[in-house]
Amino acid sequence: MNNPLLDKLPVGICLVNEAYEIVSLNAFFLDRMPVELRGDALGKPLADVFPEQIKFLKRRIKSVFILKHPSFSYWEQRPHIFPFKSSRPITGEETQMVQNMEIVPHKDAETGQQYACILIQDVTAQASYFKAQAQLAEALKTEHEAQRKLIRKLDRAQSQLIQAEKMASTGQLAAGIAHEINNPMGFVTANLNTLEQYAQNLLETCQATKKLVASHAPEHIEALEDLFDASHVELIEEDMGPLIKESKDGLKRVSEIVSTLRSFAEEPQHSWGYLNLQETANQLVQLISTQFKRPKYKVTCEPEQLKWYCESASLKQALTNLMMNAAQSINDTGLVMLDIRQTTSGIAIKIVDTGCGIKEGHLKRVFEPFFTTRPEGKGQGLGLSVAYSAIEKHKGKLVINSREGKGTVIEVRLPLLKEAKEEDKTASDPSTESL
């Protein structure tokens, strides 16, 4: 090629005439050709120099001659058209050149001859960069998929854990209640055994008396008194009334505990509706106080009998967990308060205890699933996480304030939900009411 400028270009140029003969080559093109072909390539048919590629090249060149439009071949479809080598800039390592090829039509202004000008661009570096990127993207995609699987697994595990904690705290409460039920049952059983004996004595006394009265023998009066003494009739007269009363009280306590537990626990799951918060709080305190006897309990509700739209099962669960923590925090004597208050935007429920409080370093961690300071087997560390997710379900907030050695205040704020307003509307709409 007689233009020195073209020899300086970082692009291979090869000019081919209409007979598919090589007319001209620039330095870049020549230098990348295999050594044995370099010497006599000029003037030779393209087919002789590059026999393996000729079919494809001829097709492309022909289209350029006919259509007089450039033709482009991108490395991704056909990376190695010419058997050229490419050397890496730093390592000098030789690899097969990855090429972009463009063929442009060229007409000699003087002779009017048509040529096809083949331009070869070395894109080996870019191509290896693209390949590496594609591999990276593929690896990322695989990892992303693996992460998504893991998240799904974690989600499942979390809901299983939440379920487990629900069962555990209800179970813990139920165990405490079973223990409580044993107390009245113990004395009722003992009383009944005594009463059974008393009844036996009375029966025998009555039968003997019957016989004596039948015989009308006054000398037997003394014998009758002896009989009464032997059967402890005096003691029976004194003791039987209180024993029966105590047993009846015991049975009443058992039935109260059982019915509170039932009305507290037998709520259908996932049901939204209005819940009487004061009643719930009282039932809850009744249940918890049977198990944790040390604290004094106080419930306040303003306004009284406040009803709130919520998913009752999960809200009760949250309050149970918070109240149990409060009760457990009291090692000796102390107070647990449950205060419910209507606010301008919703309700605020405060659970206050004068118990051991939470160490400052622990405060940030108490909502972490499995965080517990209780002895092995006594706490799962899921109570607060379960309470938190239940309150989140109600679009509410849970704020915890605690001082070690002083006590803890947990405030639950629940907003008035849109659905509640709609329920109110339907309830007060006379047309629906009459339905």
Ligand X SMILES: Nc1ncnc2c1ncn2[C@@H]1O[C@H](COP(=O)(O)OP(=O)(O)O)[C@@H](O)[C@H]1O
Question: Is residue 295 near ligand X by the rule CB under 6 A?
Answer: no
Give the one entry of ligand X, Mg ion, none that residue 356 binds, where binding means its C-beta sits below a cut-off of 5 to 8 angstroms depending on kind: ligand X
Q: Is 42 exposed, middle or buried (0-12, 13-18, 19+ CB in 10 A)?
A: middle
Question: Is residue 326 near ligand X by the rule CB under 6 A?
Answer: yes
Question: Is residue 317 near ligand X by the rule CB under 6 A?
Answer: no
Identity of the residue, 70 or 381, whose beta carbon is nearer to Mg ion in the bound complex:
381
For residue 416, give the DSSP letter: P
Q: What value, to the nearest 5°, has the Cα angle with vertex 394 and ends 389 and 395? A: 90
Question: Is residue 325 near Mg ion by the rule CB under 5 A?
Answer: yes
Identity of the residue, 113 or 163, whose beta carbon is nearer to Mg ion in the bound complex:
163
DSSP state letters, 132-159: HHHHHHHHHHHHHHHHHHHHHHHHHHHH
What 3-state class would DSSP assign to 54? helix
- The CA distances from residue 81 to 118, 139, 189, in Å, are 11, 30, 101
Give the one entry of ligand X, Mg ion, none that residue 381 binds, where binding means its C-beta sits below a cut-off of 5 to 8 angstroms depending on kind: ligand X
Question: Is residue 313 near ligand X by the rule CB under 6 A?
Answer: no
Specify the stretch interacting with ligand X by CB under 6 A; choose among 59-67, 219-227, 354-362, 415-423: 354-362
Whether the bond between 295 and the residue before it is cis, its omega within 30 degrees of 0, is no
Other C-beta atoms closer than 10 Å to the C-beta of 323 total: 23
- Crossing angle between the packed helical segments 233-265 and 124-215, to the nearest 10 degrees: 160
From the list 423, 100, 83, 404, the residue with the least C-alpha distance to 271 is: 423
Question: Is residue 334 near ligand X by the rule CB under 6 A?
Answer: no
Specify the stretch interacting with Mg ion by CB under 5 A; choose among 1-9, 215-223, 244-252, 383-391: 383-391
Question: Is residue 331 near ligand X by the rule CB under 6 A?
Answer: no
Question: Is residue 339 near ligand X by the rule CB under 6 A?
Answer: no
Residue with the closest Cβ to Mg ion?
A: 383
Question: Is residue 383 near Mg ion by the rule CB under 5 A?
Answer: yes
Question: Is residue 194 near ligand X by the rule CB under 6 A?
Answer: no
Radius of gyration of the chain (CA): 48
Please enumerate, as own/partner, the contacts of 127-131 that have beta carbons within 8 Å and a separation of 24 or more.
127/75, 127/79, 127/98, 128/98
Least Å distance, CB 321 to Mg ion, is: 5
Question: Is residue 321 near ligand X by the rule CB under 6 A?
Answer: yes
Identity of the residue, 123 or 318, whose beta carbon is nearer to Mg ion in the bound complex:
318
Q: Which of residues 82-121 bind ligand X (CB under 6 A)?
A: none
- Quick one: which of 366, 390, 398, 414 contacts ligand X (CB under 6 A)? 366
Specify the stretch interacting with ligand X by CB under 6 A; choose among 105-113, 268-276, 309-317, 366-374: 366-374
Torsions phi, psi of 337, nearest 5?
A: -120, 140
Identity of the residue, 12 or 379, whose beta carbon is nearer to ligand X in the bound complex:
379
- Quick one: which of 98, 329, 349, 398 contacts ligand X (CB under 6 A)? 329
Question: Is residue 379 near ligand X by the rule CB under 6 A?
Answer: yes
- Sign of the dihedral through C-alpha 420, 424, 425, 431: positive
Least Å distance, CB 378 to ligand X, is: 7
Identity of the residue, 196 or 376, whose beta carbon is nearer to ligand X in the bound complex:
376
d(CA 319, CA 338): 9
d(CA 325, CA 328): 5
| Interface with Mg ion (CB under 5 A) | 325, 383
| Interface with ligand X (CB under 6 A) | 321, 325-326, 329, 353, 355-358, 366, 371-374, 379-384, 408
